Structure 1
Amino acid sequence: HDDFAIMIALYIDNQPILGWIMDVVNNIVYHGGPQMGVFANQLRLDPPENDELNQGIVLLSGARLLYGMFGYDEIAKSALGYRVIGAAGPSFIRVLRGQAVGYSSKMMSWDFAAGQVLAKTLGLIVSDIDGKQLDMLSSNIVLVATNRAHRDILALHRS
């Protein structure tokens, strides 16, 4: 029962302003935005290392991995390791903290809006699985990753 979070985001004219992800079990609120940085409660987070896919853990959607969709099988094989958590909030937190180099899953805007604000503020890349900007009004196959892991994942997805 640890893998859930409360997420809220503020966007103005489709621009990310503030995001909050609350890790309820551990009583940690990840919050911030482009004008202030990202914090875990009062502790300012540094940007994660810009590791490549083969240097870290990647978090993937279990169903899409199982059926080899979007190149997830090759992405998992190319990573140092992979995990299936099944919840957006805890997965975004792991990427924000540098515990994973990337995360991809099918999400609705309420699943990725807060994480996108925080991830972009820390210099992570957030896109759809094809590398395009996310549509905030529809479901997307979302990819959040370090710059290097993002590049590696897009190359595997396209091959």
Structure 2
Amino acid sequence: MDKTLRDELFQKAKQWVYEAGELIKERMNEPLSIDTKSNANDLVTILDKETEKFFIKKIKANYPEHLVLSEEGFGDKLKSLDGIIWIIDPIDGTMNFVHQKRNFAISLGIYCEGIGEIGIIYDVMGNCLYHAKKGEGAYKNEKQLAPLKEKLVLKESIIGMNHYWLCENRLIDHQDMQQFIRTIRGVRTYGSAALEFAYVAEGILDAYLTMKLSPWDIAAGIVIVQEVGGVTTDIFGQPVNMLTDNPVMVANSVISEQIATVMRKGKK
């Protein structure tokens, strides 16, 4: 993608993200219909659906040849990453949105022929925009994020994880997982994959591990993290597939292989 088009798409995307954020804030305290998807904890609200439709309407009106991959199913059915694809999670962290009215984000990534060109993660209630264009650095609002630490050891690392690793983990042996947690400095969970990617990019988490994420959960974050020297793989250190779900690791590159080694050792 040439720079002129990348700049144009970034400006449009940023404008629409801010507009979508305002729509969410205007309506979030209204009575909302709440449904479940894959299980009782997988929530979706009318605002998730309406926000996704807002983006699709804008994209298709301005760039009818572009494709959309999105969480709530109103986008295109994709079999490849050919062309320009907008990958969108309209409200990442819906459970936080429903229960807390905070700690959720709009996540938007733009890919061209499978390469991440633009990443935007908007913490709606914090009015904080993490963003990056390929090759131009990553930013939190208007401040450029510094490259990630070049000196870091696993035992001093703070890692984003949740309780499912210990109570419902079908990927890694529980004893290996417990030993891993004892090895690191601490564990944190925020309930929004997009924000946890942003926090790795900012350096306030050193890594984030999760058992299952979809492309719209990670598309924007991959671009942002890459611009500060971080890496995104599956938990075993292999490339992620942007058309399917993956067990995902995003990390400071200094410790990513150490974590992947632990995960491979404990693989069931």
**Normalising by the residue count of structure 1, what TM-score does the alignment of the two structures yield?**
0.92
Which residues of 2 match residues 1-159 of structure 1 at below 5 A?
1=100, 2-50=102-150, 51-68=152-169, 69-70=171-172, 71-105=176-210, 106-159=212-265
Aligned in 2, Cα 1:90/1:65: closer, same or farther, shift over 3 Å? farther
Deviation at 1:93, TM superposition (A): 1.8
Percent identical among aligned pairs is: 28
Cα displacement (A) at 1:41:
1.1
Distance in 1 (CA, whole Å) between partners of 2:110 and 2:219 is: 8
Q: Which amino acid aligns with 1:110?
A: W
Q: Counterpart of 1:131 in 2: which secondary structure? A: coil
Q: Check whether the contact 1:74–1:156 (CA below 8 A) recurs between aligned residues.
A: no
How far off its partner does 1:125 sit?
1.1
Name the CA distance, whole Å, in 1 between partners of 2:209 and 2:216.
Answer: 15
Whole-Å Cα distance in 1 between the matches of residues 189 and 166 of structure 2? 9
Where 1:135 maps in the other structure, the secondary structure is: coil
Distance 1:25 1:130 in 2: 34
* Relative contact order higher in (CA < 8 Å, ≥ 6 apart): 1
Q: 1:65 to 1:114 in 2, by over 3 A?
A: farther
Question: Which moves more between the two structures, 98-107 or 81-90?
Answer: 81-90
TM-score by length of 2: 0.56
Q: 2:250 and 2:201 mapped to 1: Cα distance?
A: 9
Which protein is richer in strand relative to its size?
1
Inter-partner Cα distance in structure 2 for 1:102 and 1:124: 9
Q: Show CA shifts across 1:109-158 (max 9, x none).
A: 00000000111111101101111111000000010001122122112112
The one-letter code matched in structure 2 to 1:52 is V
Q: Kindly state the Cα deviation for residue 97 of structure 1 after the two structures are TM-superposed.
A: 1.0
What RMSD over aligned residues (CA atoms) do the two structures have, in Å? Answer: 1.5
User: Can you give the 5+ residue segments of structure 1 that lack an aligned partner in the other structure?
Assistant: none
State the shift of 1:62 in Å: 2.4
Q: Which structure has the larger Rg?
A: 2
Runs of 4+ in 1 over 4 A off after TM superposition: none
Unaligned 5+ residue runs, structure 2? 1-99
Contact 1:37–1:121 under 8 Å retained in 2: yes
